[in-house]
């Protein structure tokens, strides 16, 4: 038991540590400096990791049950802009902005879940429609001005690294408790195995979907607020351009599910987000543009998907040969008995 735990910990830690060693060596060779040389480098890395992890967790909540929610980009915009502006206009500080953004994220996510249950529209089609609606809500609700945190009073705490870590830690703990120790998590695993069987066993699949959409909305709202604090503002956008952030974080989500086999999904998403942000930090130091960084990241994502599709190829081939050998041996025994 202890050996298995130690093995799981070592495999999990190998991803960020291995990536850091590789990128550190490449940065030393090409730029004569390391990946992290100042506190600013660490702060930027932590903020980017928190944003990525929150987004990946929001994606994974619905994808675990076969729903890819394309409305998350619109929810992120609407919750952060509408909730953030209301809190600022009321004179509330850091906590107020977080609470209002979270509240609107939960509400917007629940609305998508309710429409999914009421009208049984395919999740991707419904997601596209609500993404466009929420983008318009954010655009009209802010009078096309978006969210400006750099000029708002008493919200400097949002850009504090320790606030980001604290909020992410709370989200991870809640995610762990929900998935591992509650009826919600049990139902999620059951529905992920077979929705029809789970329904026949008395699990209310539709209420569960509403909860998943709502929790995902809350997580993506936190990602939106920290992204706005990181850059100083968030512009209102239309035309599904808000979904570019969501698609970018598909890699940490899928990689997190893979790493989660050795620990759990929440820790897996955190570790995968750290690994990919180390990779991108190294590319940035090597003076690659944002577009080039995305190309390299997506190429790495493609390689990972190819690996996942073929990870059992040798095991399956060996099992197939064993079955053939067993069948041939059985045939020889039958022939020997009848001879």
Q: What single string gives the DSSP state of each residue in 33-80?
A: S-S--SHHHHHHHHHHHHHHHHHHHHHHHHHTTT---TTHHHHHHHII
Start-to-end Cα distance in the chain: 51
Residue 130 pLDDT grade (very low, low, confident, very high; cuts 50, 70, 90) = very high
- Mean pLDDT for 322-333 is 81
Round the average pLDDT of the chain to a whole number and report it. Answer: 89
Could you give the angle at which helices 290-310 and 250-259 cross, rounded to 10 degrees? 40
Residue 6 pLDDT grade (very low, low, confident, very high; cuts 50, 70, 90) = confident
- Residues whose CB is less than 8 angstroms from the CB of residue 298 and which lie 6 or more positions away in sequence, other chains included: 251
* Selection from 242, 251, 244 nearest residue 273 by Cα: 251
For position 16, what pLDDT does the model report?
A: 94
Q: Are the C-beta atoms of residues 212 and 66 closer than 8 Å to each other?
A: no
Q: Are the C-beta atoms of residues 251 and 152 closer than 8 Å to each other?
A: no
- Mean pLDDT for 56-78 is 90
For position 204, what pLDDT does the model report?
A: 84
Would you say residue 316 has pLDDT above 80? no
For position 200, what pLDDT does the model report?
A: 79
* pLDDT per position as a tens digit, 227-282: 999 888 999 888 888 888 888 889 999 999 999 888 888 899 999 999 999 999 99
- Residues whose CB is less than 8 angstroms from the CB of residue 157 and which lie 6 or more positions away in sequence, other chains included: 93, 94, 163
Q: Are the C-beta atoms of residues 246 and 70 closer than 8 Å to each other?
A: yes
- Mean pLDDT for 188-204 is 80
* pLDDT per position as a tens digit, 29-59: 999 999 998 898 999 999 999 999 999 999 9
**Sign of the torsion formed by the C-alpha atoms of 128, 133, 137 and 140:** positive
For position 20, what pLDDT does the model report?
A: 95
For position 1, what pLDDT does the model report?
A: 62
**Residues forming a β-bridge with 234:** 147
The lowest-confidence range among 15-29, 100-114, 166-180 is: 166-180
For position 159, what pLDDT does the model report?
A: 85
E-strand stretches of the chain: 147-148, 233-234
Q: What percent of the chain has pLDDT over 90?
A: 53
Would you say residue 202 has pLDDT above 90? no
- Mean pLDDT for 50-73 is 90
Residue 339 pLDDT grade (very low, low, confident, very high; cuts 50, 70, 90) = low
* pLDDT per position as a tens digit, 141-193: 888 889 998 878 888 888 889 999 999 999 999 988 888 888 888 888 888 77
């Amino acid at each position: 038991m202890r050996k298995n735990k130690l093995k799981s910990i070592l495999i999990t830690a190998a991803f960020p540590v291995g990536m850091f060693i590789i990128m550190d060596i490449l940065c030393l060779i090409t730029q004569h400096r390391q990946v992290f040389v100042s506190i600013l480098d660490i702060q930027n890395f932590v903020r980017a990791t928190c944003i990525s992890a929150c987004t990946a967790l929001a994606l994974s909540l619905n994808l675990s049950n076969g729903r890819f929610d394309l409305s998350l980009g619109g929810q992120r915009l609407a919750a952060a802009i509408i909730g953030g502006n209301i809190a600022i206009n009321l004179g509330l500080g850091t906590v107020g902005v977080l609470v209002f953004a979270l509240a609107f994220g939960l509400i917007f996510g629940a609305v998508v879940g309710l429409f999914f249950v009421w009208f049984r529209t395919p999740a991707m089609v419904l997601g596209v429609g609500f993404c466009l609606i929420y983008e318009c809500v954010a655009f009209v609700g802010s009078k096309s001005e978006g969210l400006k945190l750099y000029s708002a009073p008493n919200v400097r705490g949002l850009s504090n690294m320790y606030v980001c870590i604290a909020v992410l830690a709370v989200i991870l703990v809640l995610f762990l408790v929900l998935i591992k120790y509650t009826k919600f998590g049990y139902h999620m695993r059951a529905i992920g195995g077979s929705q029809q069987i789970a329904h026949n066993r008395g699990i209310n699949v539709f209420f569960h979907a509403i909860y998943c959409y709502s929790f995902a909305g809350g997580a993506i709202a936190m990602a939106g607020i920290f992204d706005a604090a990181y850059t100083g503002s968030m512009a209102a956008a239309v035309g599904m351009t808000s979904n570019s952030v969501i698609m970018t974080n598909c890699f940490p989500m899928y990689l997190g599910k893979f790493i989660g086999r050795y620990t759990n999904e929440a820790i897996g998403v955190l570790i995968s987000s750290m690994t990919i942000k180390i990779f991108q930090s190294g590319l940035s130091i090597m003076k690659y543009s944002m577009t080039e960084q995305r190309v390299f990241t997506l190429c790495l994502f493609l390689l990972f998907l190819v690996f996942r599709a073929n990870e059992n190829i040798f095991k399956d081939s060996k099992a197939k040969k064993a079955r053939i050998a067993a069948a041939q041996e059985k045939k020889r025994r039958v022939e020997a008995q009848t001879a």
